[in-house]
């Protein structure tokens, strides 16, 4: 890309949201996008097959209606067309399933999510892959035909000879010869080679996911050796940064996450070990066949190897609902998910479409689905298996020491368990009764009486039972008889603590339920013989040969599956992984649909090249790094991305023929990591437990929660961990721009970036040069340098900022204090004059948002937020608050007449409208026989005729609310969250319950002028009056006491602010966010 094209800092603030994309109905229902195709095949077709085809399919058509093709639905039956594409509200099918007219299916209404799927499908235009709009006809024939067997992805991999080409650049390397031959057939020419500065940035982001430093760029650009680029690639591949980058691609595929999902989304504290296993495997260049075998069957292949056990964490990333009592259905779903993901990841086929019926387009039978599922039917997910030590002698020593401790403490622990058991049994019995009736006998049975499926269901159910039992607090729950003996035994056990070896971390792994597996059957075929483990019929119709591992209580099924997947002659598994590597180097695979090598996917653009690369991959021992090197040293990879070739653009706009390199936006982790690298904050520590969002480590080490997602990862299309992701979406949205421009995390990186740049000296030209080299990897052009220096000069002329952010309230003179949810708040540490009895608080406010949950937007407070600590806080309720949203309320923690401390929330039910100026006040009176409680006042200042609204709320607090916390405006002292969002002005605090006549709202000009007027009764009672005016913004106009202080960062000098703005712009520019 030319540098003038890259440089998007039009120095008058160059932020662009780019194009916005909206979901549209399919214009051609037979040409379906990959996303809509998957939606149809996974959510719509199976639903129709299960619930509709019996009465409206090929064998029976009640009401002359068929629902097994789009054409049949459009033709309809006796009542007319079943669907109106794009118009769900006008579709009879949707009326019927909602039971609004017909009630279909008649045996029970569909679930809400199923109805929603049908509604969304119709809204999309009812896309139906391959349906040409004609009514489906039933033609009996072979389920797998000769044509199926000839499909390209099921054919053996062929070692093609690279074609001979006549081109000096593209004739030296086999990859280039395949590419050049295709280009020549289309009459196209490849792009020139990219310059070295562009090439090193591309290589760094490809292999490390990070930008090169200015020193690394300079060293490479100035290296005269002909193998400089080859040495660069080798150096990048040898670094631990490589595994951190390429391991993330694998984690996308396996839907890695560190939480359960669903509502609770509980954290999985040991999941990170699988992530580290993946990173280490890539760094060690572990052969792919070993990588696959360990993940599918490491517990059977090497049960004493901690790495092999950790590898089976691949089979632990299932979604889990913590309070799902129907454990039978949940377990069935979890095993189905393992089957689906295994087929997606290793075989690149949409086998999930064959769960309910034979695949409609690919030669994948329903039996194939359950043959594959049978490999996972005996699986268990233990929660208490210790992770072995890598050193065999150390591991044996640990087990010996553990056994000795257990032997010496057996009697003590047995007696302790006997005391605790009745209490645990009672807690467990409550839980047992919540499970379905058909499951309860299984849970109450003795372990030896449970069949394999019963053992699996018990393990899943006991997670809930044990969680309830662990909430029991010993010894508090013990009665007077049991407690003394329990405490004595606990003390005795503690005396053996020195002999007890340190607890081993728990393995995030799987095992088999035993040598015998539960049967695998196709749902609805109860009397049929169980399905034996097997592979895809089109590749191998015979049952799998299973050899149980010697000395292990395991079936050996997953080992057989792993061995079949990693056979060199497996045409799917070998092509799929090679195509994935190519995809991540070029932005799209030789086969663009990386996890769909069937008819619904795309055929490869260069099929012979894909096979040739696959053969080289196998020859090199299934290793990743030789394949990377082969691809990256090709001229095809080293082409320019921005070239003027109108003919090529017209002939091949998607660049499937590879006539240039592709421009690619950084993905979510790269955006985050690049900002940390440029700002100089990135820590290069590898491995270990995951960190919170704010830690300056690489994105792969940030906690990956399914529901509570990192905001930057979320808006930049990071995976959600719910499904396998072969290729991330690349969207362009306003939310991205807003986060990059206004997000606190981004602004902090810009500040650190500016500080790093400022360290080069005070010369703006030197600062601009350093900033460009750090952010873009090259110096600025002459025009860029001039424009940038001019920008710094013009911004440096701006007036200095005040001690805290300020704003204005429409229709009011002067300035207000502005709050934007950040931790900054205004506080007064001297609280000696704060009230301890009746008080009045008044303010003028504008509220810009309410919290999405139940947090309060705080106007002012003297409280740290703890319900156990005294204090008070005036604010506005959040969306999910029990007091409903936008409710003006006062929280008080004080003493009642019994002497007990209580937290009471006094809700006025006076509600604020967003973006509207209001006068607000609360008059708090301590409780007594004559007390009116708390009185609230609210007036809309945007309407001169608006009345002063009032509300009274009783309470039972007689005092005791006086706190040691600082008085705070816009938040709570030392508390996270609960900050104000918007403007606050004219805050007045009085040590008395003012009458309405004494309020600012009733004073002659108290709310119209900046000076204000104080009613006669109030001067001696006013503790503080904070008006935030320019000359003394933090002063208390009621006296010298309680001046405000701010915990906001010290304001920058104009030239410092100018450099910060400039660095912030660079981080938002296309040249920073894209790689060419």
Inter-CA distances, 104 with 90, 97, 115, 358, 1032, Å? 16, 5, 11, 24, 72
Does one domain contain both 737 and 863?
no
pLDDT at residue 1004 in the model? 44
- DSSP SS3 for 1045: strand
CATH code, 869 = 2.60.120.200
Domain encompassing residue 336? 287-385+511-565
Give phi and psi for 553, each to the nearest 5.
Answer: -85, 70
DSSP 700-716: GGB---SSS--HHHHHT
The arithmetic mean of pLDDT across residues 647-651, rounded, is 94
- The DSSP call for residue 803 is S
The owner of tokens 């290729």 is 727
In a domain, residue 42? The reply is yes
In a domain, residue 489? The reply is yes
In a domain, residue 669? The reply is no
Does one domain contain both 894 and 828?
yes
Percentage of the chain exceeding pLDDT 70: 93
Does one domain contain both 778 and 820?
no
Instruction: Decide if 294 contacts 561 (C-beta within 8 A).
Output: no
The arithmetic mean of pLDDT across residues 204-227, rounded, is 97
pLDDT at residue 136 in the model? 43
pLDDT at residue 138 in the model? 44
pLDDT at residue 1019 in the model? 61
pLDDT at residue 1007 in the model? 56
Q: How far apart are CA 343 and CA 253, in angstroms?
A: 11
For the stretch 149-192, pLDDT in tens is: 999 999 999 999 999 999 989 999 999 999 999 999 999 999 99
Which residues lie closer than 8 Å to 132 by C-beta, 6 or more apart? 30, 71
pLDDT band at 132 (very low <50, low <70, confident <90, very high): low
Q: How far apart are CA 771 and CA 9, in angstroms?
A: 13
Q: How far apart are CA 912 and CA 914, in angstroms?
A: 6
Q: Which of 180, 195, 463 is nearest to 203 (CA)?
A: 195
Out of 53-62, 416-425, 771-780, give the one with best mean pLDDT: 771-780
Which residues lie closer than 8 Å to 48 by C-beta, 6 or more apart? 67, 68
- DSSP SS3 for 934: strand
Which residues lie closer than 8 Å to 167 by C-beta, 6 or more apart? 180
Percentage of the chain exceeding pLDDT 90: 68
Q: Which of 336, 354, 338, 358 is nearest to 346 (CA)?
A: 338
Q: Which of 642, 638, 649, 644 is nearest to 179 (CA)?
A: 638
Instruction: Report CA Rg, the chain.
Output: 34
CB atoms within 10 A of CB 735: 13
| pLDDT score of 886 more than 90 | yes
CB atoms within 10 A of CB 911: 15
Which residues lie closer than 8 Å to 919 by C-beta, 6 or more apart? 842, 843, 844, 937, 938, 939, 941, 948, 1000, 1001, 1007
| pLDDT score of 109 more than 90 | no
Does one domain contain both 854 and 966?
yes
Does one domain contain both 833 and 755?
no
In a domain, residue 688? The reply is no
| pLDDT score of 872 more than 90 | yes
The owner of tokens 């991540």 is 584
CB atoms within 10 A of CB 129: 19
User: pTM here?
Assistant: 0.78
In a domain, residue 316? The reply is yes
pLDDT at residue 697 in the model? 97
Domain count, the chain: 6
For the stretch 435-482, pLDDT in tens is: 999 999 999 999 999 999 999 999 999 998 988 888 888 888 889 899
Does one domain contain both 98 and 218?
no
For the stretch 333-343, pLDDT in tens is: 999 999 999 99
Indicate left, alpha or beta for 1015 from its phi (over 0: left) and psi (-120 to 50: alpha).
beta
In a domain, residue 716? The reply is no
Domain boundary among 662, 690, 711: 662
pLDDT at residue 13 in the model? 32
Q: Which residues pair with 923 in a beta bridge?
A: 840, 935
pLDDT at residue 141 in the model? 57
Q: How far apart are CA 920 and CA 939, in angstroms?
A: 7
- Give the mean pLDDT of the chain: 90
Pairing mode, if any, of strands 511-512 and 816-820? unpaired
Q: Which of 260, 280, 645 is nearest to 464 (CA)?
A: 260
In a domain, residue 708? The reply is no
For the stretch 27-71, pLDDT in tens is: 455 566 777 887 888 888 888 888 888 888 877 777 778 898 888
Does one domain contain both 873 and 939?
yes
Domain boundary among 565, 586, 603: 565
Domain boundary among 628, 662, 696: 662
Which residues lie closer than 8 Å to 304 by C-beta, 6 or more apart? 388, 392, 395
For the stretch 917-973, pLDDT in tens is: 999 999 999 977 566 789 999 999 999 999 999 999 999 999 999 999 999 999 998
Does one domain contain both 366 and 467?
no
Contacts 24+ apart (CB under 8 A), 227-232: 228/196, 229/196, 229/199, 229/203, 229/633, 229/638, 230/629, 230/633, 232/200, 232/203
Does one domain contain both 879 and 1026?
yes
Across 294-435, where does the E strand assignment appear?
A: 379-380
For the stretch 729-765, pLDDT in tens is: 999 999 999 999 988 899 999 999 999 999 999 999 9
pLDDT band at 1008 (very low <50, low <70, confident <90, very high): very low
The arithmetic mean of pLDDT across residues 615-639, rounded, is 98
Does one domain contain both 414 and 546?
no
For the stretch 659-712, pLDDT in tens is: 999 999 999 999 999 999 999 999 999 999 999 999 999 999 999 999 988 999
Instruction: Decide if 68 contacts 46 (C-beta within 8 A).
Output: no
Does one domain contain both 911 and 1018?
yes
Q: How far apart are CA 265 and CA 261, in angstroms?
A: 4
Which residues lie closer than 8 Å to 762 by C-beta, 6 or more apart? none
> Which two tokens mark 190?
């490849």
Does one domain contain both 918 and 1030?
yes
pLDDT band at 526 (very low <50, low <70, confident <90, very high): low
For the stretch 237-262, pLDDT in tens is: 999 999 999 999 999 999 999 999 88
- DSSP SS3 for 1052: coil
Which residues lie closer than 8 Å to 311 by C-beta, 6 or more apart? 274, 277, 281, 291, 294, 295, 298
For the stretch 502-523, pLDDT in tens is: 989 999 999 999 999 999 998 8
Query: For 94-98, 101-105, 339-343, which range has the lowest pLDDT when averaged over its residues?
Result: 101-105
In a domain, residue 448? The reply is yes
Q: Which of 985, 988, 971 is nearest to 1024 (CA)?
A: 988
């Amino acid at each position: 890309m030319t540098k003038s094209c890259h440089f998007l800092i039009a120095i008058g603030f160059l932020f662009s949201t780019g194009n916005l994309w909206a979901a549209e109905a399919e214009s051609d229902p037979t040409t379906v996008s990959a996303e809509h195709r998957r939606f149809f095949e996974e959510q719509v077709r199976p639903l129709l097959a299960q619930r509709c085809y019996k009465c409206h399919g090929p064998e029976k058509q009640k009401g002359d209606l068929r629902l097994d093709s789009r054409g049949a639905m459009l033709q309809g039956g006796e009542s007319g067309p079943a669907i109106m594409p794009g118009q769900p509200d006008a579709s009879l099918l949707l009326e019927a399933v909602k039971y609004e007219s017909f009630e279909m299916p008649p045996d029970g209404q569909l679930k809400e999510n199923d109805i929603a799927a049908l509604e969304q499908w119709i809204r999309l235009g009812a896309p139906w892959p391959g349906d040409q709009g004609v009514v489906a006809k039933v033609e009996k024939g072979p389920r797998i035909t000769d044509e199926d067997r000839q499909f390209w992805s099921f054919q053996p991999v062929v070692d093609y000879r690279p074609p001979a080409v006549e081109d000096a650049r593209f004739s030296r390397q086999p990859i280039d010869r395949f590419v050049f031959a295709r280009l020549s057939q289309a009459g196209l020419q490849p792009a020139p080679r990219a310059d070295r500065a562009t090439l090193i940035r591309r290589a760094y982001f490809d292999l490390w996911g990070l930008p090169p430093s200015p020193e690394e760029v300079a060293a490479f650009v100035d290296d005269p050796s002909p193998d400089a680029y080859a040495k660069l690639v080798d150096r990048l591949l040898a670094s631990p940064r490589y595994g951190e980058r390429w391991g993330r691609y694998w984690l996308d595929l396996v839907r890695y996450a560190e939480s359960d999902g669903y509502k609770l989304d509980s954290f999985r504290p040991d999941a990170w070990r699988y992530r580290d296993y993946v990173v280490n495997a890539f760094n060690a260049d572990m052969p792919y066949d070993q990588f696959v075998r360990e993940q599918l069957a490491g517990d059977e292949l090497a049960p004493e190897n901690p790495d092999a056990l950790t590898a089976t964490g691949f089979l632990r990333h299932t979604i889990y609902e913590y309070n799902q009592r129907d454990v039978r259905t949940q377990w069935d779903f979890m095993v189905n998910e393992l089957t689906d993901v295994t087929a997606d990841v290793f075989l690149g086929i949409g086998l999930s479409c064959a769960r309910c019926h034979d695949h409609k387009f690919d030669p994948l039978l329903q039996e194939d689905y359950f043959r594959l599922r049978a490999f996972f039917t005996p699986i268990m997910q233990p929660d208490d298996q210790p992770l072995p030590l890598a050193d065999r002698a150390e591991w044996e020593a640990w087990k010996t020491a553990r056994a000795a401790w257990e032997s010496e403490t057996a009697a003590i622990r047995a007696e302790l368990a006997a005391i605790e058991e009745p209490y645990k049994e009672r807690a467990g019995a409550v839980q047992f009764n919540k499970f379905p009736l058909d499951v309860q006998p299984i849970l109450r049975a003795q372990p030896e009486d449970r069949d394999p499926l019963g053992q699996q269901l018990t393990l899943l159910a006991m997670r809930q039972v044990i969680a309830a039992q662990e909430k029991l607090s010993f010894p508090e729950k013990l009665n007077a008889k049991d407690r003394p003996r329990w405490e004595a035994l606990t003390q005795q056990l503690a005396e053996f603590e020195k002999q007890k070896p340190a607890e081993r971390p728990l393995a995030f792994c799987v095992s088999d339920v035993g040598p015998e597996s539960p049967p695998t059957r196709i749902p609805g075929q109860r009397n049929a013989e169980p399905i034996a483990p097997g592979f895809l019929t089109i590749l191998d119709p015979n049952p799998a040969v299973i050899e149980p591992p010697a000395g292990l209580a395991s079936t050996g099924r997953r080992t057989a599956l792993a061995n079949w997947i990693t056979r060199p002659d497996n045409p799917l598994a070998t092509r799929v992984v090679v195509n994935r590597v190519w995809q991540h180097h070029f932005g799209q695979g030789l086969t663009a649909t990386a996890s769909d090598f069937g008819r619904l996917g795309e055929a490869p653009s260069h099929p012979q090249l894909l096979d040739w690369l696959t053969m080289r991959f196998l020859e090199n021992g299934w290793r990743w790094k030789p394949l990377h090197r082969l691809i990256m040293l090709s001229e095809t990879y080293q082409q320019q991305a921005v070239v003027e070739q109108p003919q090529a653009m017209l002939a091949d706009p998607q660049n499937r023929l590879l006539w240039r390199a592709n421009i690619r936006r950084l993905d979510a982790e790269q955006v985050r990591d690049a900002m940390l690298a440029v700002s100089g904050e990135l820590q290069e520590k590898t491995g270990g437990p995951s960190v919170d969002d704010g830690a300056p480590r690489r994105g792969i080490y940030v906690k990956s929660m399914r529901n509570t997602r990192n905001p930057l990862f979320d808006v930049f299309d990071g995976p959600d961990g719910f499904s396998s992701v072969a290729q991330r979406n690349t969207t362009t949205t306003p939310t991205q721009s807003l986060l990059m421009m206004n997000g606190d995390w981004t602004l902090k990186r810009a500040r650190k970036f500016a500080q790093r740049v400022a360290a080069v000296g005070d010369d703006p030209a030197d600062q601009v040069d350093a900033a460009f080299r750090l952010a873009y990897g090259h110096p600025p052009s002459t025009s860029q340098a001039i424009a940038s220096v001019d920008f710094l000069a013009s911004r440096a002329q701006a007036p200095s900022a005040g001690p805290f952010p300020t704003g204005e309230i429409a229709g009011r003179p002067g300035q207000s204090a502005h709050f934007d949810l950040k931790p900054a708040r205004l506080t007064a540490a001297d609280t000696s004059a704060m009230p301890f009895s009746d008080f009045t608080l008044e303010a003028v406010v504008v509220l810009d948002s309410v919290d999405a949950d139940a947090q309060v937007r705080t106007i002012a407070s003297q409280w740290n937020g703890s319900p156990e600590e005294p204090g008070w806080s005036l604010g506005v309720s959040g969306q999910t608050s029990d007091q409903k949203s936008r409710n003006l309320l006062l929280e008080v923690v004080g003493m009642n007449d019994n002497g007990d401390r209580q937290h009471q929330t006094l809700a006025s039910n006076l509600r604020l409208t967003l973006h509207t100026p209001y006068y607000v006040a609360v008059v708090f009176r301590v409780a007594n026989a004559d007390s009116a409680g708390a009185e609230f006042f609210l007036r809309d200042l945007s309407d001169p005729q608006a009345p002063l609204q009032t509300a009274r709320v009783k309470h039972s607090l007689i005092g005791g609310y006086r706190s040691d916390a600082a008085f705070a405006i816009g938040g709570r002292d030392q508390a996270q969250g609960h900050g104000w969002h918007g403007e606050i002005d004219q805050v007045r605090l009085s040590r008395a319950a003012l009458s309405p006549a004494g309020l600012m709202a009733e004073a002659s000009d108290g709310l119209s002028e900046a000076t204000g007027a104080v009613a006669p009764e109030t001067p001696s009672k006013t503790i503080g009056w904070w008006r935030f005016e320019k000359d003394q913004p933090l002063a208390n106009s009621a006296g010298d006491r309680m001046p405000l202080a701010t915990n906001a960062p010290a304001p920058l000098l104009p030239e410092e602010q100018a450099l910060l703005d400039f660095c912030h712009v660079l981080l938002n520019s296309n040249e920073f966010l894209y790689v060419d």
